[in-house]
Amino acid sequence: MAASFIEPKILKGFRDFLPASEIPRRALIETIERCFRLYGFVPIDTPALEYAEILLGKGGGETEKQIYRFKDHGDRDVALRFDLTVPFARFIAEHRAGLPLPFKRYHIAKVWRGENTQRGRYREFTQCDFDIVGSAGAAADFEILLMIRHALTAAGAGDLIIKINHRGLFNRFLDCLGLPDRSAKILRAVDKLGKAGAEETRSALSSIAGGSRADEILAFIQNRGSFEETLAEITRASGGESPESRRLSDLRAFMVENGIAGSFALDPSITRGLDYYTGVVYETFLTGLPDIGSVCSGGRYDNLAGLYSKEAVCGVGSSIGLDRLIAALEALGKLDARPSYSEAAVACIKEEDAGRCQVLARSLRDAGIPCEVFLEKGKLSKQCALAEKKGVKWLIIPGESPLEDPLTLRDLERRENREGVSLEEIRRLLRPCSGELTGKA
């Protein structure tokens, strides 16, 4: 039979993760997850596929164009989730009565957008959301800010600046300018400042609010002194002390008490594009790599599940852009790209010793040391090369009788052999590797 093969290829914008990229990706997720758990946050999961009506809401527009939507076998109009916020809103509306409030959850999962891939974006990517719902105070805002700093620092992102602002205060300022009705448009125009530049933003603002108002707005968002100076300026420009300005000064006090004020800046040009934010908003920039853009953004909202329920649920949350963070860590040389978890490997001298080699390996595994057993006989030099390629540090070479005779331990980094060692000595020497990768410490 002349075989015809199906070409093994994947869709544009989608990716295979080979071990060398999946191992650091998983390690990063585990680090972030460990941080969330230390704050008492709990995981949830929701379906990848939902009713299109649920996901699109009143939406349409950009989302509608990007969403993977189709009819299922029962002719239902369904779609793949394009973010984790909309499913979370539906989740809260559906399960609110059974959840202890405030509810602190995280959700790390894939989402899908059939968008144009030209800007190096993917059609399948991982989001990493964490939110506190049912708590309106500064304490909740601060906890999320603290977690952003903690999670990114634990991930190895180095120094960072979390730029915060308060949408409510911005709106008070627009009220003072007599522009309350144009708030959404103005906030969106300001949100694009980074990408569009000052010139284009001025012209956008002019067409929304007129030239002189545009200049006042530009002056407002260019306040970039110390936190206190900026807060004083924007408080004055927004009509004086208000609950919103007090929220910012409360947050500032919390930062100082925690000795982390240096990681935060008050930046009135931060507005976030999404309409549902109503309170503090923030974006996070890495000092070592500012041009990559915000790696973690979010804010406070008054009414998360308004599309699905008449009960207003407020909250505050954030989302780590995992792919962007990985790209940043890679660029900073902070991504450990080890292609294996194994600390040690047992060489294969005789294939009939496979059972006994597993007994050797077990003794290390029981001590939490990842130990691979090589399955194929071959030149020892080849086995050493394979182990090195995998990033394995130690090769255990069994003797004639693996469980009775002394062993040889090869240090693959130094390329040195220690002859005549016992399994017990090896176990003592190879302390378990860090919890990062194996979950054992």
Task: Looking at residues 373 to 432 of the shown chain, list those that interact with a second copy (rule: CB under 8 A).
Answer: 373, 375-376, 386, 389-390, 392
Nearest to 38 by CA among 127, 107, 106, 139: 106
Instruction: Please list every residue from 170 through 209 that binds a second copy, using CB under 8 A.
Output: none
Q: Tell how strand 77-80 and strand 49-51 pair up.
A: antiparallel
Nearer to a second copy, 189 or 371 (CB): 371
CA angle 136, 141, 143 (to 5 degrees): 120
In the bound complex, what is the minimum distance in angstroms from residue 142's beta carbon to a second copy? 6
Neighbours of 94 (CB within 10 A): 14
Site string for a second copy, 332-361 (x = CB under 8 A): -------xxxx--x--x--xx-xxxxxx-x
Minimum CB–partner distance for residue 308 and a second copy (Å) = 4
Q: Give the nearer residue to a second copy in terms of CB position, either 104 or 172.
A: 104
- List the beta strands (DSSP E) in 73-218: 77-80, 103-112, 124-133, 160-166
How many residues of this chain interact with a second copy, rule: CB under 8 A?
Answer: 121
> Toward a second copy, which CB reaches closer, 151 or 174?
151
Name the segment binding a second copy (CB under 8 A); options: 23-31, 190-198, 200-208, 229-237: 23-31
| E-strand stretches of 253-343 | 264-266, 277-286, 296-301, 315-321
- Shorter beta-carbon distance to a second copy: residue 389 or 428: 389
Q: Which is nearer to a second copy, 223 or 249 (CB)?
A: 249
| CB 61, min distance to a second copy, A | 15
Matching residue, tokens 């020892």: 380
Compute the C-alpha angle 123/128/134, nearest 5°.
130
Q: Using CB atoms within 10 A of its CB, is residue 346 exposed (0-12), middle (13-18) or buried (19+)?
A: buried
Binding test (CB under 8 A) with a second copy, winner from 7, 291, 400, 404:
7
**Of these, 5, 118, 381, 415, which contacts a second copy (CB under 8 A)?**
5
Q: Site for a second copy (CB under 8 A): which residue of 174, 204, 371, 407? A: 371
Asked if 100 contacts 92 with a C-beta cutoff of 8 angstroms, the reply is no
Question: In sequence order, what are the residues at sequence separation of 6 or more whose Cβ sits closer than 8 angstroms to the Cβ of residue 430?
Answer: 343, 344, 364, 369, 393, 394
Residue type (1 letter), 423: L
> Could you identify the residue written with the tokens 């093969």?
5
Least spacing, CB of residue 271 vs a second copy, in Å: 25
Task: Supply the minimum distance, in Å, between the C-beta of residue 332 and a second copy.
Answer: 23
The residue (of 140 and 296) whose beta carbon lies closer to a second copy is 140
Judge residue 281's burial from the number of C-beta atoms within 10 Å of its C-beta, 0-12 exposed, 13-18 middle, 19 or more buried: buried
- Binders of a second copy among residues 102 to 161 (CB under 8 A) are 102, 104-105, 110, 112, 114, 123-124, 132, 135, 137-140, 142-143, 146
Does 305 interact with a second copy (rule: CB under 8 A)? yes
Q: Is the dihedral of CA 295, 339, 428, 355 positive or negative?
A: positive
Q: Rounded to whole angstroms, how far apart are CA atoms 411 and 29?
A: 31
- Which 237-266 positions form the footprint of a second copy (CB under 8 A)? 250, 253-258
Site for a second copy in 207-236 (CB under 8 A): none
- Closest approach, Cβ 26 to a second copy, in A, equals 6
Alpha carbons 357 and 349: distance in angstroms, whole number: 10
Minimum separation from the CB atom of position 202 to a second copy (A): 35
Region 52-111 residues binding a second copy, contact defined as CB under 8 A: 53-54, 57, 65, 68, 70-73, 76, 78, 80, 90-91, 93-95, 98-100, 102, 104-105, 110
| Closest CB 348 distance from a second copy, rounded Å | 7
